[in-house]
Chains A and B, each alone.
Chain A
Amino acid sequence: DAEITQSPRHKITETGRQVTLACHQTWNHNNMFWYRQDLGHGLRLIHYSYGVQDTNKGEVSDGYSVSRSNTEDLPLTLESAASSQTSVYFCASSSGTYNEQFFGPGTRLTVL
């Protein structure tokens, strides 16, 4: 069955370190998205991609970057982790024909 996976599921890091969160989907979807979820804010879009070599900034992109070298993967990098980036991160994908997005299981990141 097609699926979307994230790794690691839990991560603790220190302020200033570079961190990369992985997202892999086997739906063959063109569109992939990264969100962060914090209490009181719902899901906020960080970056998204409509296909290989395409990346776009979302509403809370500062301090994050993504790259899309193939259809299946969209890794999210925190260049220099900050305590404000402690959050739960969700990756999602969609086919583009409709807006329905399928979500990965999430990564809980703690920055100390």
Chain B
Amino acid sequence: EDKVVQSPLSLVVHEGDTVTLNCSYEVTNFRSLLWYKQEKKAPTFLFMLTSSGIEKKSGRLSSILDKKELFSILNITATQTGDSAIYLCAAGRGNNDMRFGAGTRLTVKP
């Protein structure tokens, strides 16, 4: 059975801290790994990773995929209160659907 597991489920840090969010996956016909940020509304796209070992970066956020060990990490450096959100990881399959993890709820305190 396909599954995507995220850890930790919740995390509380202070502004300026660096955080690492984890996502492991086991899906058939894996094609891509996606990260989304969800605040009080719809998920918004952050990254899509298809190749192992190539880091994608956007400002203070970065992510990398390991297709051999079947996991991805999302790093956020110098966290800000605006980073507080649920971060969702999803494994995209060859038939264009995705399996989502349960999410990591990040709270950044001032």
Q: Which residues of A contact B (CB under 8 A)?
A: 31, 33, 35, 40-45, 48, 50, 58, 90, 94, 96, 98-106
Contact = CB atoms under 8 A, between A and B. Distances in A.
Given A98-B32, A100-B48, A33 B97 contact: yes
Nearest to A48: B97
Interface in B55-110: 88, 90, 92-93, 96-103
B96 A105 contact: no
Contact of B96 (A58, A90, A99, A106): A99
B32 A106 contact: no
B100 A42 contact: yes
A100 B96 contact: no
Given A43-B43, A45-B99, 7 more contacts: A48-B97, A50-B96, A94-B96, A98-B48, A100-B48, A105-B42, A106-B41
* Interface size, B (range): 20 to 34
Nearest to B103: A42
A47 to B, nearest CB: 10
A101 B48 CA distance: 11
B48 A99 contact: yes
A105 B42 CA distance: 5
A97 to B, nearest CB: 9
A27 B45 CA distance: 16
Contact of B100 (A40, A43, A100): A43
Contacts, number: 51
A45 B41 contact: no
B92 A99 contact: yes
19 contacts: A33-B97, A40-B102, A42-B4, A42-B88, A42-B102, A43-B43, A43-B88, A45-B97, A98-B48, A99-B31, A99-B32, A99-B34, A99-B92, A99-B93, A99-B96, A99-B98, A101-B98, A103-B43, A106-B42
A94 B96 CA distance: 8
B34 A100 contact: yes
Contact of B98 (A41, A45, A96, A106): A45
A54 to B, nearest CB: 12
